[in-house]
Structure 1
């Protein structure tokens, strides 16, 4: 939990330190997979692509050696679909748009059942943000903002995590479309969400 709190607080070095301590204490457990992924996210935010790949590779190796989990709803259990969610985040941050989009599409697919009901709404919201970032970087402002608004409008969300990734989208919009009204509108909606109001 210390690694996650540090991540959402913007303390990337603190994430790495907490993750390494946790991995040393439980090197062959599911939580070590999650910690490797949190470390990868921190390295992504620090701009170190090599360390991102090393952390993701370590997480995949540990995950590959574990039995398939019995309870996928347990917060500290990581399954392949959850690891894709972590990788998506890393690739969005480092600007690997193609990989980010592939992982985001897979996150949406694996989080939605055959009847179209979203079973993992928080994962889908962050995937929508990722797809919004990719759209913004590709020049599609309307799609980017629409996806961002969809993500913010969900009823079930982890506010610190959602706010962090939505801020990524807001930053990309500001960079690419600084004078667009849609950029300001999205920033206003994000501020409202951070303040605890409905998007």
Structure 2
């Protein structure tokens, strides 16, 4: 059994056990979701065979995903291989073409460069990535747009907009809130001038993310709604719905949170195009799993939150131990730590929580938000525990880092 194959097997068994179902109950629940006439051969033996490595039939997989509140490509996800990018010499050649007034010839290479920079987002140093994105922004703006064919100048403006939003993201990760907001507004202005609704939707999605992690819940819902409107029936609609769900969860409204998660799942399930799972402006199933995990944790559905968190960590870790999605992994570890805490194991919870805060690649405001939520639970449940005190102090240090990050 390969590691990538084993991911869904582990998940299938964990989801069933978390709901307290035996194989018979799981089959009964699945049967209610299957279209009439497609459940032939569905029985306890078939379910056991799935959990032992036999892949479920294609017609059953969407119902299995719906049974567990996820999407088919998420439930049966495979670990992604390491990414590769353009060589330094290829990048220098692209930049030299623009400087030589041959931006049209450089367009394909520029598109590849920007896509790869966006794909570097999860793992690369934010300061380093921001610096290179700013450098390429200067290269793009050196092009003489009025002299270029309209389709070339429009494409260059779009690349400028995506780089601007990428820079906003990485500045925010460093805690540079004011700079991130300015760049986001600039990206939205580029989107408005070019009529790029996808870029507009992502700009508002980022606004929802900023607001959520700063505790501005009304603003988060408003920005999520704007993103849904601009990106209707697209992947960003799913992402914005997930952010709305996370906001409603923190406002103590599980029904609205579940409605938003359902809408996010249905849109993502309906989309079949392949995406780069590392790209900052794409929505892979892992993003939905992340939103779902966060809601389950906040709403107190601890066993389910832990399943999603452990799945995210498995998917986000390569065979050699390299973390492909350190941002998600860090917050997933907060969810796992929360599960241990609620199960009466504060020492284990503190150890896992501290590991989450020690991640080298972090989004400071986002990690600070979930760390403070865990710290409050430590304070309530185990106020005198040494591990609990150590974690609370570490969470306070993280918050001070955010506050001290400056503009």
TM-score by length of 2: 0.47
Greater radius of gyration (CA): 2
- Alignment RMSD, CA only? 1.3
- Residue 153 of structure 1: which of 358, 361, 367 is its match? 358
Matched, 1:65 2:270: yes
Structure 2 counterpart of 1:174: 379
- CA deviations 1:8-27 (Å, max 9, x no partner) are 11012221111112101211
1:186 aligns with 2:402: no
Instruction: Point out 4+ residue stretches in structure 1 off by more than 6 angstroms.
Output: none
Deviation at 1:111, TM superposition (A): 0.5
Contact 2:238–2:267 at 8 Å: present in 1 too?
yes
Determine the structure 1 residue equivalent to 2:337: 132
- Residue 180 of structure 1: how far off its partner (Å): 1.8
Give the secondary-structure state (helix, strand or coil) at the position aligned to 2:272. Answer: coil
2:316 aligned residue: 111
The alpha-carbon deviation at position 181 of structure 1 amounts to: 2.6
1:84 to 276, 286, 289: 289
Structure 1 equivalent of residue 246 of structure 2: 41
Residues in 1 aligned to 2:347 and 2:285: alpha-carbon distance in whole angstroms:
32
Tell me the SS of whatever aligns to 1:195: helix
Name whichever of 6-15 and 187-196 sits farther off: 187-196
Q: CA deviation at 1:76?
A: 2.5
Consecutive unaligned residues of structure 1, counting only runs of 5 or more, are none
Asked if the contact 1:34–1:59 (Cα under 8 Å) also holds between the matched residues in 2, the reply is: yes
Gaps in structure 2 of 5+ consecutive residues = 1-205, 403-407
Bigger Cα displacement from structure 2, 151-160 vs 173-182: 173-182
For 2:277 and 2:307, locate their aligned partners in 1 and report how far apart those are by CA, in whole Å. Answer: 22
2:304 counterpart residue number: 99
Match of residue 162 from structure 1: 367
Alignment partner, residue 3 of structure 1: 208
**Does structure 1 retain, via aligned residues, the 8 Å contact 2:275–2:283?**
no
Q: Distance in 2 between matches of 1:142 and 1:68?
A: 44
The one of 253, 259, 273 equivalent to 1:54 is 259
Asked whether the equivalents of residues 33 and 60 of structure 1 are also in contact (C-alpha less than 8 Å), the reply is yes
Matched residue pairs, number? 197
On the 8 A contact 1:88/1:99 being kept in 2, the answer is yes
